[in-house]
């Protein structure tokens, strides 16, 4: 995985609604259960890949069995879904909405947000901050973290020596600045209040009342191969509004990726 920073430019957007939080396990489970009533094969195809929690370096095995279906995690963001599954959820939601007799809009479509829609919503009406909040810091004045991400404590940063090949082909030990403490320590994952993901309405919403546009899970956008917002496993750099994180589209699912949707009004 890697990221790049796009060039600044001005775009024009039509009005749209965006969901105030990431799609939760409970909401996605409702989708799977409704599909199961009509098509059991399709329902199974839409299930998240819970094996995304299985890691050699950390003991996350209980989440393989419990994260998606256990009621304790109902309000946590769904992960382990592909871009195609997220798009199918939006299609199902559109059809479900169109059947509502008392719906507010006669014709509306749910879909994954475009990069520009997502970025506009993330800013929350603030143009001069790199994050969804007004502060340039990752903490408020009380010292509380403003998002769920991988905090790297200052005392874990230092120099180490690594073998590097120079231009003449000779291997030399080079002194490089590195961040250590890769485990889930107090100073790493848990000091922001969450060991993995956090409930979808955790932390303070931005100026538009939208939760977790930075951190928790990086989110799919309409443009395949790109995610936005950073995750519980990413450092603060990836939480910036303008940063676009790329993923290998052949490696579909991840414990760090989820999604939210937008609603576009046609009539």
DSSP per-residue letters across 114-181: PHHHHHHHHHTT-SS-SSSSS-SSSB-TTS-BSS-S----GGGEEEEEEEEE-TTS-EEEEEEEEE--
Closest by Cα among 207, 216, 222, 234 to 264: 222
Domains and CATH numbers, the chain: 2-135+194-265 (3.90.1580.10)
Q: What does each of the 267 residues of the chain score in pLDDT, given as a tens digit? A: 445 566 666 777 888 999 999 999 999 999 999 999 999 999 999 999 999 999 877 788 999 999 999 999 999 999 999 999 999 999 999 999 999 999 999 999 999 999 999 999 999 999 889 999 988 888 888 888 999 998 875 554 555 677 877 778 888 887 665 555 443 333 344 556 688 999 999 999 999 999 999 999 999 999 999 999 999 999 899 999 999 999 987 768 999 999 999 999 987
* Cα 208 from Cα 198, distance rounded (Å): 20
Whole-prediction pTM value? 0.84
């Amino acid at each position: 995985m890697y990221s790049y920073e796009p060039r600044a430019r001005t775009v024009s957007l039509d009005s749209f609604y965006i969901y105030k939080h990431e799609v939760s396990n409970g909401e996605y489970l409702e989708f799977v259960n409704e599909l199961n009533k009509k098509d059991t094969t399709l329902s199974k195809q839409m299930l998240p890949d819970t094996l995304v929690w299985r890691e050699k370096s950390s003991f996350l095995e209980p989440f393989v069995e419990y994260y998606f279906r256990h009621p304790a995690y109902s309000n946590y963001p769904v992960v382990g879904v592909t871009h195609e599954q997220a798009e199918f959820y939006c299609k199902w939601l559109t059809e479900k909405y169109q059947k509502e007799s008392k719906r507010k809009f006669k014709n509306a479509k749910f879909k994954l947000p475009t990069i520009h829609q997502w970025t506009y919503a993330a800013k929350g009406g603030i143009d001069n901050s790199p994050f969804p909040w007004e502060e340039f810091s990752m903490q408020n004045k009380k010292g509380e973290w403003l998002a769920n991400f991988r905090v790297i404590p200052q005392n874990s940063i230092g120099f180490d020596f690594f073998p590097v090949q120079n231009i003449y082909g000779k291997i030399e030990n080079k002194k490089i600045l590195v961040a250590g403490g890769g485990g889930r320590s107090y100073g790493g994952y848990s000091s922001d209040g969450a060991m993995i993901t956090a409930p979808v309405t955790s932390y303070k919403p931005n100026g538009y009342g939208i939760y977790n546009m930075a951190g928790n899970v990086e989110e799919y956008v309409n443009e395949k191969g790109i995610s936005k917002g950073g995750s519980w496993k990413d450092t603060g750099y990836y939480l910036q509004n303008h940063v676009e994180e790329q993923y290998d589209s052949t490696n579909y699912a991840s414990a760090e990726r989820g999604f939210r949707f937008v609603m576009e009004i046609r009539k």
